[in-house]
């Protein structure tokens, strides 16, 4: 799967660079009227989280090369807060944990140093902290001054950005990513069940999943999958708990928070879905792979049960549409394959916040440093990167969405509910750095390990969800206490079963 993901990343980079070259001339012509004719050479410093020999050229291809061609008096300096090249080749003592840099603090250094960056490119989960620490200039006065038209921006993008700034606009992003709930029309029709609709609550979606799941053995059609790639129930419970904004432990990483009514509902629900085969089980997937191996066949879909027509609903990102299109275009080449008839609605929502979904990502937010030495060019670059001309170019992408609705159209002329990707606001960013727990305490993930085996006991019926969660709380607290008192101590052995579960940051 890692190889497939790497291939997808390479394809994405190749596609975007090719599109940039193909449309370069037209975009330059469209934007040339706004270029500065002054012969004065100026430097615009842009700060990004990750630098290095691979990341800098990619960022330039994506965002700065075309601006430089139409603004020959501007020279860009790309500054990375964290350079993975240095970490990659650094020789360390294997007996000592490698210290992990704090991304937020490293970004702050770029903003507050002797030669501060002018533009900062950041993820949404950092935006609130940046605004609270007064590190960014508000953009509203600049938007009003230049009459920069934001009327056709996807409302949830603007509202999401403003919510992180308590109603003030501190950044803009030309693109965003989002997910939706994909559903199989035929499976719903065959079962005589009404398909899902936008903004359905989680409980409603899972209830519908039970109604549409049918069949036995290898002929089983499942009602729902938490993602395209079938996973075990414990990891599904992690996905579900995050969607409901539940935390595994407190913000200091000192106390487990799993022994609660909310966590009990999550574990009871997900365990029931697995026991009743509403979601694909690991046993089913193992038999599928064994059969495929015995028959010597090639699976072009890598076990994707939704494309195979075996899952009625699954959560997928915008790029999944391209996979579905490729499957449809090549359906005639695949033996015994019938292309799924699909559409999308919004991801399930929480009853406490029905306008918010956990699947919208604003990862290329551009803001102006409050201490910028060249704030005029910084704003001009942000305007350029968020212009209609730039959005038109980016709209050709098969993997990301543009923030201007005018150019947000279905891929390849297909017909589907594209509003499903834009109707929900992103989860509000936290004012605390949850990932800091894992950086400061490298062994804290061990507190998660006991949960894996305890969840299996809930599925087997040997423990209730509350009993298992209470035991997880006890074992997890013991791990957290040990790490607090001895951060460089050995690993946990009680309850982990030798299975390493990677951290899921909250």
- Let me know whether 64 and 201 are in one domain: no
Residue 74: helix, strand or coil by DSSP?
strand
CATH number at residue 415: 3.40.190.10
Higher pLDDT, 431 or 493: 431
- Burial label for 350, CB within 10 Å (0-12, 13-18, 19+), is middle
Give the Cα separation of 254 and 482 in Å (integer): 10
Least confident piece of the model among 112-126, 151-165, 244-258, 489-503: 489-503
Regarding beta strands 356-357 and 425-426, do their DSSP bridges make them parallel or antiparallel, or are they unpaired? parallel
Binned at pLDDT 50, 70 and 90, residue 52 comes out as confident
- Let me know whether 192 and 153 are in one domain: no
Write down the pTM of the prediction. Answer: 0.84
Give the Cα separation of 326 and 20 in Å (integer): 22
- Let me know whether 64 and 196 are in one domain: no
- Let me know whether 72 and 146 are in one domain: yes
Least confident piece of the model among 252-261, 286-295, 358-367: 286-295
pLDDT at 480: 93
Domain end residue (candidates: 397, 426, 455)? 426
Domain contains 165: yes
Domain end residue (candidates: 337, 356, 375)? 356
- Let me know whether 205 and 340 are in one domain: yes
Dihedral pair phi/psi, residue 452, rounded to 5°:
-60, -55
The tokens for 442 are 């490298």
Domain contains 470: no
- Let me know whether 331 and 415 are in one domain: no
Domain contains 499: no
Domain contains 492: no
Q: In this structure, what is the dihedral angle of CA atoms 411, 412, 415, 419, given to the nearest 10 degrees?
A: 10
- Let me know whether 164 and 189 are in one domain: no
Domain contains 287: yes
3-state DSSP of 296-354: CCCCCCCCCCCCCCCECEEEEECCHHHHHHHHHHCHHHCCCCCCCCEEEECCCEECCEC
Domain count, the chain: 2
- Burial label for 427, CB within 10 Å (0-12, 13-18, 19+), is buried
Give the Cα separation of 361 and 426 in Å (integer): 7
The tokens for 341 are 């008839």
Dihedral pair phi/psi, residue 247, rounded to 5°:
-110, 145
Residue 9 has pLDDT above 90, yes or no: no
Give the Cα separation of 450 and 499 in Å (integer): 9
Q: Are 483 and 441 in contact (CB under 8 A)?
A: yes
- Let me know whether 94 and 183 are in one domain: no
Domain contains 421: yes
- Let me know whether 286 and 394 are in one domain: no
- Let me know whether 377 and 287 are in one domain: no
Q: Are 342 and 184 in contact (CB under 8 A)?
A: yes
Dihedral pair phi/psi, residue 47, rounded to 5°:
-100, 130
pLDDT at 18: 45
Domain contains 25: yes
Least confident piece of the model among 12-21, 63-72, 255-264: 12-21
Q: Are 418 and 115 in contact (CB under 8 A)?
A: no
Separation of CA 418 from chain center: 18
Give the Cα separation of 485 and 480 in Å (integer): 9
pLDDT at 501: 36
Q: In this structure, what is the dihedral angle of CA atoms 15, 21, 23, 25, given to the nearest 10 degrees?
A: 170
pLDDT at 33: 42
Give the Cα separation of 392 and 235 in Å (integer): 39
In tens, the pLDDT along 312-349 reads: 999 999 999 999 999 999 988 888 888 999 999 999 99
Binned at pLDDT 50, 70 and 90, residue 99 comes out as low
Least confident piece of the model among 52-56, 132-136, 253-257, 462-466: 52-56
Residue 504 has pLDDT above 80, yes or no: no
Written as one string, the DSSP assignment of 201-237 is: BHHHHHHHHHHH-B--GGG-BBS-BSSSS---HHHHH
Give the Cα separation of 87 and 107 in Å (integer): 17
pLDDT at 95: 56
Q: Are 23 and 393 in contact (CB under 8 A)?
A: yes
Expressed as residue numbers, the domain containing 109 is 16-177+360-426
**β-bridge partners, 122:** 365
Domain contains 453: no
Least confident piece of the model among 13-17, 230-234, 502-506: 502-506
Domain end residue (candidates: 356, 380, 395)? 356
Give the Cα separation of 277 and 310 in Å (integer): 12
- Let me know whether 159 and 293 are in one domain: no
- Let me know whether 288 and 410 are in one domain: no
């Amino acid at each position: 799967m890692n190889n497939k993901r790497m291939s997808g990343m390479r394809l994405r980079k190749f596609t975007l660079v090719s599109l940039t070259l193909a449309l370069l001339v037209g975009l330059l012509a469209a934007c040339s009227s706004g270029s500065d004719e002054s012969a004065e050479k100026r430097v615009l410093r842009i700060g990004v989280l990750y630098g290095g020999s691979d990341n800098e050229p990619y960022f330039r291809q994506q965002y700065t090369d075309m601006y430089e061609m139409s603004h020959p008096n501007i020279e860009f300096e790309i500054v990375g807060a964290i350079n993975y090249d240095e970490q990659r080749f650094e020789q360390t003592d294997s007996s000592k944990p490698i210290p992990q840099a704090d991304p937020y603090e490293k970004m702050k250094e770029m903003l507050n140093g002797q030669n501060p960056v002018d533009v900062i490119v950041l993820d949404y989960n950092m935006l609130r902290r940046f605004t609270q620490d007064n590190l960014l200039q508000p953009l509203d006065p600049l938007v009003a001054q230049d009459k920069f038209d934001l009327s056709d921006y996807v409302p949830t993008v603007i509202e999401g950005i403003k919510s992180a700034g308590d109603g003030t606009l501190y950044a803009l992003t030309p693109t965003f990513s989002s997910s939706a709930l994909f559903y199989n029309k035929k499976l719903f029709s065959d079962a005589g069940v009404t398909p899902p609709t936008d903004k359905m609550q989680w409980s409603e979606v899972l209830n519908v999943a039970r109604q549409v799941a049918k069949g036995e053995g290898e002929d089983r059609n499942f009602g729902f999958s938490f993602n395209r790639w079938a996973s075990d129930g414990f990891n599904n419970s992690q996905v579900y708990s995050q969607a409901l904004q539940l935390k595994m432990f407190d913000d200091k990483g000192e106390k487990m928070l799993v022994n609660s009514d909310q966590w009990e509902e999550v574990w009871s629900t997900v365990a029931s879905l697995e026991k009743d085969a509403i979601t694909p089980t690991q046993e089913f997937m193992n038999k599928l792979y064994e059969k495929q191996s015995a028959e010597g066949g090639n699976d072009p879909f890598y076990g994707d049960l939704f494309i195979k027509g075996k899952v009625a609903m699954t959560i997928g990102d915008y790029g999944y549409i391209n996979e579905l299109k490729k499957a449809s275009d090549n359906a005639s080449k695949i033996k015994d394959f019938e292309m799924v008839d699909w559409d999308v609605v919004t991801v399930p929502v929480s009853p406490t916040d029905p306008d918010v979904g956990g699947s919208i990502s604003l990862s290329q937010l551009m803001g102006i440093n409050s201490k910028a030495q060249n704030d005029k060019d910084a704003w001009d670059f942000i305007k350029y990167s968020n212009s209609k001309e730039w959005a038109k170019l980016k709209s050709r992408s098969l993997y990301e969405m543009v923030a201007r609705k005018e150019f947000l159209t279905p891929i390849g002329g297909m017909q589907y509910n594209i509003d499903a990707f834009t109707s929900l606001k992103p989860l509000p960013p936290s004012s605390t750095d949850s990932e800091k727990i894992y950086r400061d305490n490298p062994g804290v993930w061990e507190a998660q390990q006991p949960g894996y085996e305890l969840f299996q006991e809930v599925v087997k019926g040997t423990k209730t969800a509350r009993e298992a969660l209470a035991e997880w709380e006890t074992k997890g607290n013991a791990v957290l206490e040990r790490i607090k008192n001895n951060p460089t101590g050995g690993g946990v052995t009680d309850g982990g079963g030798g299975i390493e579960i990677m951290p899921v940051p909250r």
